[in-house]
Structure 1
Amino acid sequence: MITKLGVATAYVTDYDKALDFFIGKLGFELRTDVTMENGFRWLTVGPPASPEFQLNLTVPGPPMHDEQTAATLRELMAKGVLGAGAWNTDDCRATYAEYSARGVEFIQEPADRPYGVEAVFRDEFGNWYSLNELNDKALDQQAMAEAFESNSETS
């Protein structure tokens, strides 16, 4: 049985810029930085509060991708259509202020949602991330369903 997610991937165009963003701006930790014999660089970072999780930063290209696939991934990154995930925080508005001061580009300011407070930011490679301060409803599936149903009726 699967118990939790251990590694997820975010596509980037430059490893050094990725490290600057995730470590310098978001405050993540370097987890792994190893170059394999085939040239593939296994570079992972993660939030200090989640030591069991690694975000694999991958530049599209060989040996993982053929050139056509790599070009498609770069095109999608340039369009800004790759959503790479959601990060949880204890205080969305405070984290928004802290990250904004560090130069993180937000595409949505903190807003109240049925599940808590959410802001959305983008990395320097076109990936976007949701930043969530979850409330008690977020943990209760029935309450979430009712909140979304109620929210859609008033929209």
Structure 2
Amino acid sequence: MADMPRGQRITALSLLVPDYEPGIGFYVGKLGFDLLEDTDMGGGKRWVRVRPKGGGVEMLLARAVTNEQRAAIGNQSGGRVFLFLETDDFDRDHAAYVAAGVTFLEAPRSEPYGKVVVMQDPFGNKWDLIQPVANGSS
């Protein structure tokens, strides 16, 4: 195999939303993500970046503008859980999200890999809120 580049990482992903304000309203307003950037690019286009508190991969909120893009809102993973939000305090974050009106598709459960619950953003994307088991302990 040829020499592969070193030091790569995924820093951001694009998430289709119907418009910027509802995306910001949910991710910043309800989930408490940081709004890293909201730059007017002209012609109704904006560069909107959000990221969970504590760091991690950024999301670029991309306003769907074509029929194909609009059809993919909330279904970028074919109906599967699409995004995984890791927390250091499941009970704290779950309670805050319940109070904020976030939609949960099930009750919290314990799995061998951690405490988890599936939630859904208002656009249809499924998320796992997860607190992993620390260092393999149960």
Q: TM-score, normalised by structure 1?
A: 0.73
1:59 corresponds to 2:58: no
CA positional deviation for 1:75: 7.9
Q: Which amino acid aligns with 1:69?
A: E
Contact 1:10 1:127 in 2 (8 A): no
Q: Write the distance in 2 (CA, Å) between the matches of 1:110 and 1:116.
A: 11
Name whichever of 8-17 and 123-132 sits farther off. Answer: 8-17
Answer with 1 or 2: which has the greater Rg: 1
Contact 1:88 1:133 in 2 (8 A): yes
2:136 corresponds in structure 1 to 137
Match of 1:46 among 27, 46, 51: 51
Q: Write the distance in 2 (CA, Å) between the matches of 1:134 and 1:93.
A: 13
Query: Identity percentage over the alignment?
Result: 29
1:89 corresponds in structure 2 to 87
CA positional deviation for 1:85: 0.8
Q: TM-score, normalised by structure 2?
A: 0.81
Name whichever of 126-135 and 40-49 sits farther off. Answer: 40-49
Match of 2:110 among 106, 109, 112: 112
> How many positions carry a matched residue from both structures?
130
Contact 1:6 1:54 in 2 (8 A): yes
Structure 1 residue runs of 5 or longer lacking an equivalent are: 62-66, 139-155
Q: Write the distance in 2 (CA, Å) between the matches of 1:58 and 1:137.
A: 37
Question: Residue 58 and residue 74 in structure 1: after superposition, are their counterparts in 2 closer, same or farther (change >3 A)?
Answer: same
CA positional deviation for 1:15: 1.2
Cα-Cα RMSD: 2.4
Contact 1:11 1:57 in 2 (8 A): yes
CA positional deviation for 1:100: 0.3
Between structures 1 and 2, the one with greater helix share: 1
Q: Write the distance in 2 (CA, Å) between the matches of 1:85 and 1:3.
A: 20
Q: Write the distance in 2 (CA, Å) between the matches of 1:23 and 1:68.
A: 26
Question: Residue 55 and residue 75 in structure 1: after superposition, are their counterparts in 2 closer, same or farther (change >3 A)?
Answer: closer
CA positional deviation for 1:103: 0.7
